A and B are shown apart, each in its own frame.
Chain A
Amino acid sequence: MKRSFLDRSLWLREVLGLMDANFKIVARPNSSLTSRGRFYVVSILACVSLAVALAFGFIGAWLVLPFAGLELLAVAYAFYYINCHANDYESITIVGDDLAVEKRHYKDTSQVVFNRYWARVMLRDLPSGDQSLLLRSHGKEVEFGRHFMNNEERLALAQQLKERVGVVF
């Protein structure tokens, strides 16, 4: 099971009176191809497909070209879509009195900051039998881990968060 852990290079710092208070988890999708790799794959496909289409175009079968073009647009869009979402993530950061939930979806980055001592961790049943993980305080509610975590991970994270919010160490 995947577990949250502290990203010490960024966030670990000693805070007097707050033992084990700093905490960060980042959930993001696995991506085994780099941006450069994506570019190379699309380029290779484009070169081969266009070379074939142009060759047939030169001998009179020019109607192959628009189909090759349409197909390459679809290929390029698929890889563009993957590339756009390669850096998506969701994170929870607890530093001092603040609990920040940050989400990146394509170019949109949103952040909601709760007071750690007022924040509540909630689990809500989904029709599938799984639970969604919610953080709530002062009328604000944010869901976490819906896209990039499975149910067991969400439950484990909820347990870890419950130990860290709404209490003073």
Chain B
Amino acid sequence: MSNATAVHHDAHDAHPTGIMRWLTTTNHKDIGTMYLTFSLIMFLVGGSMILGVRAELFKPGLQLMRPEFFNQLIGVHALVMIFAALMPAATGFANWMLPLQIGAPDMALPRLNNWGFWLLPPAAILLTLPFTLALFGIGDGAVATGWTMYAPLSVQGGIGVDFAIFSVHLLGISSVLGSINVIVTILNMRAPGMTLMKMPMFAWGWLITAFLLIATIPVLAGAVTMLLTDRHFGTHFFDAAGGGDPILFQHLFWFFGHPEVYILLLPVWGFMPQILQTFSRKPMYGYKAQVYSLWAIGALSVVVWAHHFFTVGMPVPALLYFMYSTMSISLPLAVLFYCWIATIWKGSLSFETPMLFAVGWIILFGIGGLTGLVLADVAADAQYHHSYFVVAHFHYTLFAGGIMGIMAGVYYWLPKMTGHMYNEKLGKIHFWLTAISFNMTFIPQFFLGLAGMPRRIPDYALQFAEFNMISSIAAFALGLSQLLFVYNIIMCVRGGKKATDKVWEGAQGLEWTLPSPPPYHSFTEQPTIK
């Protein structure tokens, strides 16, 4: 019998054009494009917010805004960057590339895919709407509790907290729908011959990400719902006066929040080895070791959450457990670093923009990892907790490790997606400006943290003035240099030198066997993996 390729949805035979194409599409590439576009827009929105914060922190004293508004900008910046910029970017790549990489005609559940995306814009609107409402005298602005929404502060907060709760619910539903789709697609729609251990690393990264989301999103959903009932329905889950426990919220939040870090990073760890091998013109080093390491990190990520609040007052055995378990993550991560470096070792390297970002990513993300080890130490954390050291650390992991990784992916796959080459010179300038300004923004923050400057404050002691000024100037340079990125993408989408099917000389994988850009229906011909 013949296994003809399955095109799962007949709606594809006649796809609408114009706005209806985007509203009703079930095509994985259209949905991927929407995710990536949404991500880029929200990246600029979230970035603009933090430039407001950095402007306020340019010098000591209150210059531009009230402390309440400062807090709102910080909290919404984090929520936007994590949930509306970084996660959708990874999901956008999953939509675009997973079917191409595993030889599937589309995602397994295309309508679910459409719903997953279209939940995001309302969620983003809910999150930012209180800013606008406040201008009309409704409410007191957006959520001002920081992205962690710790109780009891969030129980007492204004309507921004309610908006944030509903927004988080929508984002969570979107993530769960996306995860279900990814799991079903990867496990059920691989091309004949593509066993699990022949899957592209990106598929592995996303599969583990999806498992983590399935395991942790209900906890976040439960936590924010409990918060909602505490606020409006007379429950006392987090109210000590009513027999509740505010620290319970921290456990719930970080049970989701710590795996969330890996949810943001695992997809990048998936495609980054592919970029490294492409520009090293070598096979990937240690495929199996990387797969097992990804699984180990995924498993460990759900048992280490309390290192985020060592200082809250836990029994010593708990402190020791969370310290050692957190530090143990460095072992599989070290294996990954070893494999990444071994992949480029003695390779025939060339440094196109994706490779520049990839190599920069290894170094900068390495700094994020190593400073994480410092924070994992209970004794050291007693000093560094809630300081700018933490801020610098997680920006090295999430900006350098996450966003710069995504940028590498954008430059790597943009020619495949659009059929045009981007402006290489502009790409390299973007990399160097980003790398330099990023370091100039956050290296001073390590020292500010070590010197004792607490995070989430609009004003600070005079001794911190110089480093804050450097950090603020560099932050604006970092923000402005992203306009080059946006310009390069727009110009690449609109035209440019025609990209070849393979695009990169050393590219390996099924996606490079398709034309650039790929046809509307990927793999109408079932590929077979040998």
Contacts and interface: CB of A to CB of B under 8 A. Distances in A.
B20 to A, nearest CB: 13
Nearest to A44: B211
Given A2-B4, A32-B187, A52 B215 contact: yes
Given A41-B183, A74-B177, A128-B15, 7 more contacts: A26-B1, A45-B211, A56-B219, A61-B237, A63-B229, A67-B225, A148-B6
Contact of A32 (B1, B13, B189, B211): B189
B225 A32 contact: no
Given A71-B217, A147-B6, A33 B188 contact: yes
B525 A79 contact: no
Interface in A51-69: 52-53, 56, 59-61, 63-68
A151 interface: yes
Given A32-B192, A74-B180, A127-B14, A150 B521 contact: yes
7 contacts: A4-B2, A33-B187, A64-B219, A68-B222, A78-B181, A150-B521, A151-B524
Contacts of B8: 29, 147
Given A59-B248, A65-B222, A130-B13, A79 B524 contact: no
Interface string B7-28: 1101011110000000000000
B215 A82 contact: no
Interface residues of A, number: 56
Contacts of B524: 150-153
A1 interface: yes
Interface of B: 1-8, 10, 12-15, 104, 108-109, 112, 176-177, 180-181, 183-184, 187-192, 194, 211, 214-219, 221-223, 225-226, 229, 237, 244-245, 248, 251-252, 255, 302, 521, 524-526
Q: Which of A2, A64, A67 has the most CB of B within 10 A?
A: A67
B187 A61 contact: no
Interface of A: 1-5, 7, 24-33, 37-38, 41, 45, 48-49, 52-53, 56, 59-61, 63-68, 70-71, 74-75, 78-79, 81-82, 126-128, 130, 132, 145-153
A37 B183 CA distance: 12
A127 B226 CA distance: 51
Contact of A26 (B2, B189, B194, B526): B2
A75 B180 contact: yes
B252 A56 contact: yes
A147 B10 contact: yes
Nearest to B183: A41
A5 B12 CA distance: 27
A81 B181 CA distance: 12
Contact of A61 (B180, B184, B222): B222
A157 B176 CA distance: 40
B249 to A, nearest CB: 9
Nearest to B524: A150
B113 to A, nearest CB: 12
Nearest to B112: A78
A48 B189 contact: no
A73 B245 CA distance: 30
A69 to B, nearest CB: 8
A25 B245 CA distance: 65
A82 B188 contact: yes
A15 B194 CA distance: 41
A33 B312 CA distance: 46
Nearest first, the 9 A-B pairs at minimum CB distance are A29-B6, A64-B222, A150-B524, A27-B4, A67-B218, A68-B218, A127-B14, A67-B221, A32-B190
A126 B14 contact: yes
A2 B3 contact: yes
Given A7-B1, A78-B112, A145-B4, A49 B218 contact: yes
A151 B4 CA distance: 11
A31 B15 CA distance: 25
Contacts of A150: 4-5, 7, 521, 524-525
Q: Which of A1, A56, A63, A79 has the most CB of B within 10 A?
A: A63
Nearest to A50: B218
A64 B249 CA distance: 12
B525 A1 contact: yes
Contacts of A37: 187
B526 A49 contact: no
Contacts of A151: 524
A98 to B, nearest CB: 19
Contacts of B219: 52-53, 56, 61, 64, 67
Contacts of A128: 12-15
B186 to A, nearest CB: 9
A79 to B, nearest CB: 7
Given A32-B188, A61-B222, A74 B525 contact: no
A79 B3 contact: no
Contact of B191 (A29, A30, A53): A30
